[in-house]
A and B are shown apart, each in its own frame.
Chain A
Amino acid sequence: MEKAIRRYAPIFIIPTFAAFAIGFIVPFLMGLWLSLCDFTTVTDAKYVGFSNYVKALTDPVFRHAFWFTAAFAVVSLAVINVIAFAIAMALTRKLRGTNLFRTVFFMPNLIGGIVLGYIWQLIFNGILAHFNAALALSEKYGFWGLVILVAWQQIGYMMIIYIAGLQAIPGELNEAAAIDGASGWQKLWKVTLPMMMPAITICTFLSITNGFKLFDQNLSLTAGEPAQMSEMLALNIYNTFYSRVGWEGVGQAKAVIFFLLVVAIGLVQLKVTRSKEVQQ
């Protein structure tokens, strides 16, 4: 059968692969190469070794963006997943109106990052104005504003995944535990959570990678104000490319570092949670 299919390879392969090459492979390889160059366009690129990387790693704003982003990713991961899990547990108990609540909680996920940021900017500035403050005056407002905004956007998404996971747990397990005299908490820790590890793996992976890669909401809610102190990594890289001349090489080096960081975090997180998964 394979032989028959192989003769049709061009039709099946070429459209996707050509687009993939143009849209991903070529830009990726170019990016790797250009991170080692000083350039403004491709044609005037001058090889400069690792000096871009040195400049990137010693850039205090970049380092601040790293810590801000890391803190944000961890905090938002905790907030989103604990709340989403709790809501999922409540909604799988045949509450009246569950479908309606599910609809409402998921809806923010469909709204774009830029639009979301400006909706919440109006609200936060409106609240802060009563205290003579504003989002742009302190990065602490920006930090918590982003946490609230992203939680509002993501809780519904993770909730759906947790609900699917909870519904897949065989009822007999919890019943057997109850017969054995297990309390509610014990059932949660010894039965529910281990069975939910695959869902927890996925949700924590998505939360932490989304948190690290956040851009649109950052740009619209705070644009990095004040003085780039609420700039997250992705926004910092963008600004390095586009708001200063002559720093394109450093920007590309930062992008490579960013990429390695996201991959490393993803791998570590997967390893930690996969090792806790119960064999189904």
Chain B
Amino acid sequence: MGTGFFTVVSLVYIAPIVIVLFNSFKSKIFINMEPFKLPGADTYVGLQNYANAITKYDFLKAVGWTLFITVFSVLAILICTSMFAWYITRVHTRFTKLAYILCVFSMVVPFQMVMFTLSLVTDRLGLNTPWGLVVIYLGFGAGLSVFMFCGFVKAIPIEIEEAALIDGCSPLQTFFSVVLPIMKPTYISVGILETMWIWNDFLLPYLTLNTNKYKTIAIVVQYMKGSYGRVDMGAIMAALIMAVIPVIVFYLSCQKYIIKGVAAGAVKG
């Protein structure tokens, strides 16, 4: 199994995306009939599909909301859960032990268990906006992050923190000036795992957001596919490509960190 073999496999591996790419330049009627044909003189429509996806379905707005929700949720999760994890690791009470167990427990619960009741709660509390969704993701995503942060906090020598406290730092200052810098790799690992999850998430935003006003990328793609009888395959192909591009750009620029983060997350599991 040498380089040649893997080169062929790699090409086959990226083929699906390439196929969607050249279909996005074909007129919509020709896509379903002959998905494997390259765009020819009679089927090529340039960027028309992309224009349609953007104007008819407000695709760019969906990208904007997805970006907003992902960035702020990940920031909230990183800051709040790391502080929470540090506290429950350094302070030993029955409450902190219970908190840790609940966090680990929440990692095993499938979303279907809470999806209906969560949408009821979200509605009641008026959290069905992108801002509200940040709170929901903090709550639902806390389990995994707290678990991972606790693992890394345990590895920090407690003497460093004690020294800071003796020197007159408050616990807040100790956390931000001593603990946080040491845990930078953990922040990156957790941040990447959470970003990958939230950016692509469909069901949670679909059931909690007021989708008439706010759509994410996954929601708008599903919406485009679900418009009975008026499905525009051309626009959908363009949307799929536009959905994949930010992911690929993000991946190629942070590849090293992403792969390290995945390995780190699994090892701690």
A→B interface (CB under 8 Å): 1-2, 4-9, 11-13, 15-28, 30-31, 34, 41-42, 90-91, 95-97, 100-115, 118-120, 122-123, 125-126, 152, 157, 160-161, 163-164, 198-199, 202-203, 205-206, 209, 212-213, 215-216, 219-220, 233-234, 237-238, 241, 248, 251-252, 254-256, 258-259, 262-263, 266
Contact = CB atoms under 8 A, between A and B. Distances in A.
Contact of B121 (A12, A15, A22, A102): A22
A112 B200 contact: yes
Nearest to A96: B3
B6 A90 contact: yes
A22 B161 contact: no
A164 B189 CA distance: 15
A5 B91 contact: yes
A174 B80 CA distance: 45
Contacts of B102: 20, 25
A35 to B, nearest CB: 9
A22 B23 contact: no
A161 B263 CA distance: 5
B36 interface: yes
B150 interface: no
Contact of B23 (A122, A241, A251): A122
Given A19-B139, A101-B6, A113-B202, A108 B162 contact: no
Contacts of B200: 110-115, 216
26 contacts: A1-B161, A9-B91, A13-B84, A15-B80, A19-B80, A20-B138, A20-B142, A22-B127, A23-B118, A23-B137, A28-B117, A30-B120, A31-B116, A34-B116, A104-B13, A107-B251, A110-B247, A112-B200, A112-B217, A113-B218, A115-B217, A119-B240, A157-B262, A241-B115, A251-B116, A254-B112
Contact of A118 (B86, B99, B116, B236): B236
Interface stretch (B14-22, B43-51, B53-61, B180-188): B14-22
Interface string B162-173: 100100001110
Main secondary structure of the interface of B (DSSP, over half): helix
Interface in B88-141: 88, 90-92, 99, 102-103, 106, 108-118, 120-121, 125, 127, 135-140
Given A2-B92, A16-B142, A202-B269, A95 B225 contact: no
A5 B171 contact: yes
Given A115-B244, A216-B203, 17 more contacts: A12-B86, A13-B84, A13-B87, A16-B83, A18-B139, A20-B102, A24-B140, A31-B113, A31-B114, A103-B255, A106-B258, A110-B247, A111-B200, A122-B35, A164-B263, A213-B112, A251-B116
B139 A152 contact: no
B201 to A, nearest CB: 8
Instruction: Give 9 closest A-B pairs by Cβ, nearest first.
Output: A23-B139, A112-B200, A126-B35, A19-B139, A16-B84, A27-B114, A27-B117, A12-B87, A19-B138
Most chain A CB atoms below 10 A, which of B9, B16, B110, B118 = B110
Contact of B84 (A17, A34, A262): A17
Nearest to A235: B112
B110 A262 contact: yes
Interface string B247-260: 11011100100110
A101 B8 CA distance: 10
A205 B269 contact: yes
Interface string B5-33: 01101100110110110010000000110
A101 B16 CA distance: 16
Most chain A CB atoms below 10 A, which of B23, B138, B170 = B138
A225 to B, nearest CB: 13
Given A19-B135, A102-B259, A126-B35, A1 B269 contact: no
A8 B170 contact: yes
Contacts of B201: 112
A95 B3 contact: yes
Contacts of B88: 13
B165 A234 contact: no
A219 B112 CA distance: 14
Most chain B CB atoms below 10 A, which of A4, A96, A103, A111 = A111
B244 A125 contact: no
